[in-house]
Amino acid sequence: MATSPNLSRREDLALREAASGRTRTQLLANDLQLSPTEQALYERLLSRLARGEPLSYLLGFKEFYGRRFWVNSDCLIPRPETETLVDLGLQWALELKGFSDPLGCEDGKEGDAPIRLLDLGTGSGCLAISLGLELQARGFSTQCFGTDLSEGALRLARNNAAWLGADVQFLQGSWMNALSEVDKSEGFDLIVSNPPYVGSEDWEFASGSLSWEPRTALVGHEPSKDGMNDLREIARQTIKRLRPNGLLAVEHGYRQQEFVVDCFQQAGFFRITPMNDLAGHPRYVLGRL
Ligand code: GLN
């Protein structure tokens, strides 16, 4: 069966699965043959892909931390590098609270107060849901919140939580302002965010999937040349709401680390740790009181 020349085998199989509703095993067993109707749909998907539409929007999902998240043009497509924020959150929990006991055989986490987790600008919900589920799988009890300004994104996040069996409260509003006074005053142990951080000029010249993704998820509501507005605001808002030993972990652009460290300092964080991604690029900053 001929495949399109500009397509990787993985992409081709994914589009054929989407066009036929069959699994890749079934498709491979049948030499990737499609019926005429399926072939027509496959070709329509191919032409949308050729126009630059991201594969994840065509398929309607993207894998993140081993789970399938439903996505559409209301949310940023989860990126593999954002998975590191999940790892960093888990590391923090295990270091702080000691080893977990998933089988519940020892004095586990049962009696411990739940970890209050907050994901700011949650989009598809991938960070809040993955962290909530992974912490629970390690024996921690959690109370999870995700906030976003976008109603469409929150709809997706709620669907993803329901489909993945995660208990997360998703609330609409700007950063911490989405939370009730009670929730704010209780504070949070772990706050994560992959906020808009693309500078306005970088976005103007963006190619690839960026031009299909929600502009506000990339540059924010008040775009700035350096893309730092939201990171600064998040540092400023969260410092007041972090519990003792709590952690704020953010993702940022690869040229922004010194500015992020600086705004964490300005906000009043003491223990500030810049981190690299798996490719060695400076992409995250951790802040503690
Ligand atoms: N990581 C995205 C990119 O590919 C940006 C996401 C964001 O602004 N949070 O540039």
Hey, which of 75, 79, 233, 281 would you mutate to test ligand 1's pocket, going by the most ligand atoms within 8 Å of its Cβ? 79
Residue 136 alpha carbon to ligand 1 centre in Å: 28
Question: Which pLDDT belongs to residue 97?
Answer: 75
What's the gap in Å between 218 CA and the centre of ligand 1? Answer: 6
Mean pLDDT of 187-200: 97
Q: Percent of the chain at pLDDT above 70?
A: 93
Residue 196 Cα to ligand 1 middle (Å): 7
| pTM score over 0.75 | yes
Q: Which atom of ligand 1 is nearest to the CA of 227?
A: 8
Ligand 1 in reach of 147 Cβ (< 6 A) = no
* Dist. CA 22–CA 19, nearest whole Å: 8
Interval 203-221 mean pLDDT: 88
State the pLDDT confidence band at 96, using cuts at 50, 70 and 90: confident
| 198 Cβ inside 6 Å of ligand 1 | yes
**Percent of the chain at pLDDT above 90?**
86
User: Rounded to the nearest 10 degrees, what angle do helices 9-20 and 36-50 cross at?
Assistant: 130
Choose the residue to mutate in 62, 75, 76 for probing ligand 1, maximizing ligand atoms within 8 Å of C-beta: 76
Confidence of residue 108 (pLDDT cuts 50, 70, 90): very low
Question: Comparing C-alpha atoms, which of 80, 94, 285 is closest to residue 197?
Answer: 285
Cβ–Cβ under 8 Å, residues 89 and 190: yes
pLDDT digits (tens, 9 = 90+) for 109-154: 445 789 999 999 999 999 999 999 999 999 999 999 999 999 999 9
**pLDDT per position as a tens digit, 13-46:** 999 999 999 999 999 999 999 999 999 999 999 9
Report the pLDDT averaged over residues 184-211: 91
Fold topology of 65-288: Rossmann fold (3.40.50)
| CB of 193 closer than 6 angstroms to any ligand 1 atom | no
Answer yes or no: is pLDDT of 250 > 60.
yes
- Which pLDDT score, from 0 to 100, does residue 6 have? 74
Cβ–ligand 1 distance for 79 under 6 Å, the answer yes
Relative orientation angle of helices 229-238 and 257-267, to the nearest 10 degrees? 30
CA of 206 to the centre of ligand 1 (A): 11
**Token pair of 27, please?**
């498709």
Is residue 5 predicted with pLDDT exceeding 60? no
Burial level of 101, CB count in 10 A (0-12/13-18/19+)? middle
Q: Domain spans of the chain? A: 9-51, 65-288
Centre of ligand 1 to C-alpha 270, Å, is 26
Mutate to test the pocket of ligand 1, among 150, 175, 194 (most ligand atoms within 8 A of CB): 194
Average pLDDT over residues 239-249: 96
Q: What are the tens digits of pLDDT across the range 220-242? A: 999 999 999 999 999 999 999 99
Q: pLDDT at residue 280 above 70? A: yes
Please tell me the predicted confidence (pLDDT) of residue 98. 67
